């Protein structure tokens, strides 16, 4: 079995934690982009229905 060094494990943990915060930021941005897209689609549907009627 390979033995891991303490500095190596610490570096790995730091990289993984920073990756989690990056992914968290992407998901937060994704939520807002999704909300904006839904609002735009609803506005478009309302506009089309108002033009038909």
Higher pLDDT, 53 or 13: 53
Task: Work out the pLDDT band at 4, boundaries 50, 70, 90.
Answer: low
Residue 9 to residue 6: CA distance in whole angstroms = 5
Distance of alpha carbon 50 from alpha carbon 10, whole angstroms: 60
Mean pLDDT of 13-17: 66
Q: What is the predicted pLDDT for the residue at 14?
A: 66
């Amino acid at each position: 079995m390979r033995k891991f060094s303490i500095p190596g494990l610490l570096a790995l943990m730091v990289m993984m934690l920073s990756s989690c915060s990056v992914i968290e930021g992407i998901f937060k941005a994704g939520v807002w982009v999704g909300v904006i897209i839904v609002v735009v689609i609803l506005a478009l549907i309302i506009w089309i229905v108002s033009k038909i009627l």
